[in-house]
Structures are given as structure tokens and as C-alpha cells.
Structure 1
Amino acid sequence: MAVHSQPWRHDSELAMVRDWFFPDHAKHDAFSAPPEDMRQRAVDRVNLWLFKAGRLPAAVVSTASLTEALIHDNGVVHQGDRHGCGDGPERRNVSEPALQSIYAMAFARFVNGFVDRDVARSQAGALALDDSRGPGATTATASSLAGQSASSTGRGESSMYAHAVTIGMPEVFVDLRHQVTHGDLPGLYYLRKMALQALQWLYQRWWVKHAHASPARALREHAERRQLCLEMKARRDVDERQDVEFSVDGVAERHSATMQTNVFPLEDVGSFPTSSHKRKRDG
């Protein structure tokens, strides 16, 4: 699916999100500390892009949906804003039926986004198995593969299976989509395994081709914004602490003034009139 107005600022930002989604494929310094898990940040960034642009390539949306399912499965959700100024990870326990539903929805959206009849033609151009010979060759290859699939499966050229062949999508992905759509949810182990396989397929079929820039520029900008955010948060904490101290001092001063008003000095005790009984006895 072609996106005329890309919501990411530059290709480096797309590459940065790619590495956040797929840390195993990212280049890291062998002597540096293990990288932080930034998958939730990647999901948040895609949601921001979707809000700004209204639509995104199916591969980007599917990557975010499948990754979010895995994050829920891990039981850890990172709190904070998109710059990383949060309170750290928060563990959330999700029931097994809920996790199955999350995986099922993500996987159905993933397959539908590529091989549904309404979108299959547009996806064939972006993900065709052989796109090195020009658009005409791509269309011919897609039609040929669809015909081969129809002959071998007997499902017809318009079926999801035929469209899946044109973009190199494994048939088992379409099988699972049909299974979960009809309410037959597999176990978590199988759903988890298929989600990981789908992400690797997305990486090889889309991210490698479309996100090939260096993430260095975007990472530098992200680090600068995060540092600024942390400094602003620190100043805000100081201001709030000073406001609390000022309020406490004000309460203490008012309390002290009230006590001084309501307590008589000791030297004034003798000025109180004595009772009439005591005056008679003294006389």
C-alpha cells in the first residue's frame, strides 16, 4: 500500500523503529551494555504515526499488532511517554483466554491486511516475490503464481491462498487466519510461535526493503529529546517540592500565630480578679 505522506520525519526514524521492533537484527556494539527493550516504544510510535497519517503500510500496522500481543504475553508494559520519561515497566497479568483473543485478533488483521481481495492487488506490487524486472514483470509473475496456486489447491484465483502465493506468504498463515476467524483458538504456545514467524516474515518481506537507512540520526534526536524531557521532569519535581515546603511553612506560621493569640502570658495571671469568697476570707 502506497503512503503518499509519510508520518515519520525521515528514513532514519523508520530505521530506528525497525531496530526497536527487531533488536535481534540490529547492530550493537559488542562491548556495550545489552540494549533496553524498546518494543513498546515502537508500538507507541506506530500508533502516533497512525494518528497523524490516518493510514500506514499494512506491514507496519501488523508488526505493531503482533508485537503488542507478545508484550502482553510477557506480562510487561512500559509506562511513560514516547520520549521514555516514564516510571519504568509495569507487570500486568493477562488471563490465557484474553491472550488467545489478543493473538487471534492480531493475526487475523495481519493476514487480512495482505491477502484480502480488496487489498491483495496493491500488496502484490510491494511484496511480490520477484520485483527486480519492473512493474510489468511483477504483475505477470503474480498472475502466474495465482494460477498455479488455484490449480494446486482448487480454491480459485480469488481466494486468500492464491493471493498469499503472489507475495510469498506461507499457506499456514492463511490456515491460522481461517481457524481463529471461526472461533477455533489454538493454544498459546502455537499462537506465540506463529506470531514470531509472522514477524520474521514481515521483517524479510517489508522492513529489509523499505527501512534500509541508518538509525543513527533518529537515535541521536531521540536521546536529545529524552534528556530534555528528564531535565524538565527534574525541574518540575523541584518546583513541586518547593511548593510543598512553602505550604508547610505557611501552615506552621499560621498555627504559631494562633497559639500566641490564645495563650495568656504568665505575668498577666496576677491581674485576674479573685473570687468574692476568697476576698472575704482574706479580709
Structure 2
Amino acid sequence: VDNRQIQFFPLLPKLGNSFFSNKSLPPLRRVRSGGHQTLVRRPMVRYVFNSWRGREEMRLVRRQFYDTEPSSSAPIKGERDSDEKRRRRNQQQRAVARVSMWMARQHCSHMVESTALLTAAILSDDDATENNGWSTYAVRATYAAAFSRFVTGLLDGHQDKQRKQSMYAIAKKIGLPATFVEVRHQSTHEQLPSLAKLRSMANKALAWIWDYFWKNLADDDSSRAHQQADLCREAILKFLRGGDDDPGRRPRTMKELKKWPVDRVLRTITDLQDTLPGNQVYLKCLKLSKEVMVARADEAEAGGSAGSKAAEENADAPVEEQEPEEGSERAAGWFLCEGPWKPKPIGVV
């Protein structure tokens, strides 16, 4: 074998399931344009790691932090019901502890960490007020540290590396109040703000974080819809992974796909067709989508023909004339005509 051919082989691009492939190149996908199909490179998969196990755990922490939708004007301290206040403090302490565990795992959202830090500062303020174990200066420092970390981390995440912007410009762009930047600057470079001001700003910050982050978290209804979409996707993947030796696999799959609307099934098949590599998978998805459309069309036609057949049978059936009840106008032979009167000729002369 010529050595030049051996050196040339690794330079060949990956074409489908070809033997000569370069593993460093991403897989191909088909793009339709003008009736033709072209092969283009698909970007590599990027895995995103989270500290929490799933949406249910995130919703649990949200319920523990925010018992109800927060308001910047309603302070957290001074609740009337002591039992309710104790229960709420216990829930918030558990949420702070859980977020602390998430921070140890890394890859935790800055908004989640800021919520935990501000809540921990409020809980520390309550402990210092009740037990007199903390000085006022220490509580002010705790508030200032939590608030400064919240504002600085949020604005640095939106900073443009090539063109630096001021904190006020970034805050205006994302909708952060300018007073937050002022309190952050005062807490960092000047004398610490008063305790009353820090308490008020902490409550306003938690309310802003709710509107900016926590409120956008999907509820249970949308999560159920997402799970239904995942079940539809799993059913289609199970069909694509199976072999052709089982003759009953296709009817079972078609019966199972009837659980979801046809548009959702076709959309899921199209997504898998564009994302999964291989020509065989592409052809299977194309054939499955055609079979789904034909099956749904046959069902609709069968339902329409059954309805028309029943209507024809009802039309051919003799119409039973209802005898007028005794004592009514029809029983006497004369009755008031309903609607406009139309003359009927007896015959033609």
C-alpha cells in the first residue's frame, strides 16, 4: 500500500456510515433547499449540568422560599400568627440548607444563590432581634454582603467582554432598579446603609428575583405536558430501535401513537429525523410519518362514512306520525298555522 494513501485517509470527511471518518468532526444532517438535500455539519452536543435533580426539586425550593407571591412593600418580619411564622422560618431554613448543598455541587444558578443569601440574611436578622446574640453592625454587614454579591454577580454575567459598560447601563438593559446599584456601591465603598434601609432593599430584591427568575419556572401543568411529549418521543424511539423481524411491532406502535394528537406525533418524528444520525433512521422516520398520516386519514374517513350511513338508514326508515293529543287544537281538525302561509295549488288547468 502506498504511504501517501495512508496519510490521506484521515483527511477524508465523514460521509454517513463511511469507513473513512474523522472522529473530531461533528455528524452530518440533511437540509432541504429548493427540492434538493445537502449535508451540513451539525454542532456538537453540549451537556448542561445542574445542581438540582429535577424540576420537582426546584419547585419545592421555590415553595419554601416564597410561600406566596412576594411583594416589595410587605415585610417578611412581624407576622401576626406565631405558628405560621415558625413554619415559614423552618421552610426557609431548609431551602437555604438545600441551596448550600447545591453550591457545593457547583453549576448552581446565581439567582438561586442570591435568593438563599438574602433569605439567610433575613433569618439572621430575626435571630439577632429575638436572641440578642448579634450586634446591629454584624446584621448590617450580612445584609450588605448578600446584596452586593447579588447585584455584582448579576451585572457581571451580562457584561460584554469586548466593550465594557457601566453597571447602570447594564441594570437599565435588564430592568434592574438603579437604587440596587446605588446600595451596592454604598455597601462596598462607603459607610454601610442603615438597618431599616437594608431590610427594605432585601425584601425588594427578593420580589425582583421572583419576577425575573422564579415566576418563569414551569408549573405542574406544563411539566405534565412535557412528560407527555417525552412519552411520545420514547414510543417513537422504541420503534426506531427495534428490528424488522417482529411483525406485530408496527401495529403496536401505531396503536400507541393514537394517544397523542397527530400534529404532536408528526412534530416529534420530524425532530428525531433531523437530530438522529444515519440514513436508515431517516428513512424509517419518513415512512413512519407517512403511515401515521394515512392511518389518521383512514380513521377520519371511516368515521365520516359511518355517520353518513347512519343518516341514510334514518332517512330510509318510515317516519312515524304522532297522533295529536286529545283536547288540543290539532285533535279538533283546526289549528293556527305557524310561520308564513304559502298557498298550494290543487291542480293545473
* TM-score of the superposed pair, with normalisation by structure 1: 0.51
Partner of 2:98: 45
Contact kept, 8 Å, 1:3 with 1:57, in 2: the verdict is no
Task: For residue 97 of structure 1, report the CA deviation from its aligned partner.
Answer: 0.3
Partner of 2:137: 97
CA distance in 1 between counterparts of 2:208 and 2:218 reads 15
Contact kept, 8 Å, 2:51 with 2:107, in 1: the verdict is no
Aligned length: 160
Partner of 1:63: 115
CA distance in 2 between counterparts of 1:44 and 1:170 reads 29
Partner of 2:206: 199
Residue type of the alignment partner of 2:118: L
Contact kept, 8 Å, 1:63 with 1:202, in 2: the verdict is yes
CA distance in 2 between counterparts of 1:208 and 1:55 reads 21
Q: Give secondary structure in 2 for the equivalent of 1:25.
A: coil
Post-superposition Cα deviations, 1:218-277, rounded to whole Å, max 9, x if no partner, equal: xxxxxxxxxxxxxxxxxxxxxxxxxxxxxxxxxxxxxxxxxxxxxxxxxxxxxxxxxxxx
Residue type of the alignment partner of 2:68: D
The 1:71/1:111 distance shift into structure 2, 3 A limit, reads same
Task: For residue 63 of structure 1, report the CA deviation from its aligned partner.
Answer: 0.4
Residue type of the alignment partner of 1:108: S
4+ long deviations beyond 4 Å: none
CA distance in 2 between counterparts of 1:209 and 1:17 reads 14
CA distance in 1 between counterparts of 2:212 and 2:124 reads 25
CA distance in 2 between counterparts of 1:104 and 1:169 reads 17
Residue type of the alignment partner of 1:14: M
The runs of 5 or more residues in structure 1 that have no matched partner are 27-32, 78-89, 123-155, 215-283
- Aligned residues: percent identity? 38
Q: How large is the RMSD of aligned CA atoms in angstroms?
A: 2.9
Partner of 1:251: none
Instruction: Indicate which of 133, 156, 159 corresponds to 2:166.
Output: 159
Contact kept, 8 Å, 2:151 with 2:184, in 1: the verdict is yes
Contact kept, 8 Å, 1:157 with 1:163, in 2: the verdict is no
Residue type of the alignment partner of 2:53: R
Q: Give secondary structure in 1 for the equivalent of 2:68.
A: helix
Contact kept, 8 Å, 1:62 with 1:106, in 2: the verdict is yes
CA distance in 1 between counterparts of 2:218 and 2:108 reads 14
Residue type of the alignment partner of 1:45: R
Post-superposition Cα deviations, 1:182-237, rounded to whole Å, max 9, x if no partner, equal: 131111110000000000000010001135347xxxxxxxxxxxxxxxxxxxxxxx
Residue type of the alignment partner of 1:24: T
CA distance in 2 between counterparts of 1:8 and 1:121 reads 26
Are residue 111 (structure 1) and residue 155 (structure 2) matched? no
Residue type of the alignment partner of 2:150: F
The 1:98/1:45 distance shift into structure 2, 3 A limit, reads same
Task: For residue 177 of structure 1, report the CA deviation from its aligned partner.
Answer: 0.4
Select the structure with the greater relative contact order (CA < 8 A; seq sep ≥ 6): 1
Are residue 17 (structure 1) and residue 61 (structure 2) matched? yes
Post-superposition Cα deviations, 1:35-56, rounded to whole Å, max 9, x if no partner, equal: 822111100000111112x131
The 1:213/1:112 distance shift into structure 2, 3 A limit, reads farther
The 1:7/1:93 distance shift into structure 2, 3 A limit, reads same
Contact kept, 8 Å, 2:128 with 2:134, in 1: the verdict is no
CA distance in 2 between counterparts of 1:55 and 1:194 reads 27
Partner of 2:319: none
Contact kept, 8 Å, 1:76 with 1:91, in 2: the verdict is yes
Contact kept, 8 Å, 2:49 with 2:107, in 1: the verdict is no
Partner of 2:343: none
Partner of 1:241: none
The 1:18/1:211 distance shift into structure 2, 3 A limit, reads farther
* TM-score of the superposed pair, with normalisation by structure 2: 0.42
The runs of 5 or more residues in structure 2 that have no matched partner are 1-45, 71-82, 222-349
The 1:159/1:91 distance shift into structure 2, 3 A limit, reads same
Task: For residue 14 of structure 1, report the CA deviation from its aligned partner.
Answer: 0.3
Post-superposition Cα deviations, 1:139-175, rounded to whole Å, max 9, x if no partner, equal: xxxxxxxxxxxxxxxxx97000111112110000000
Q: Give secondary structure in 2 for the equivalent of 1:24.
A: coil
Rg (Cα) greater in structure: 2
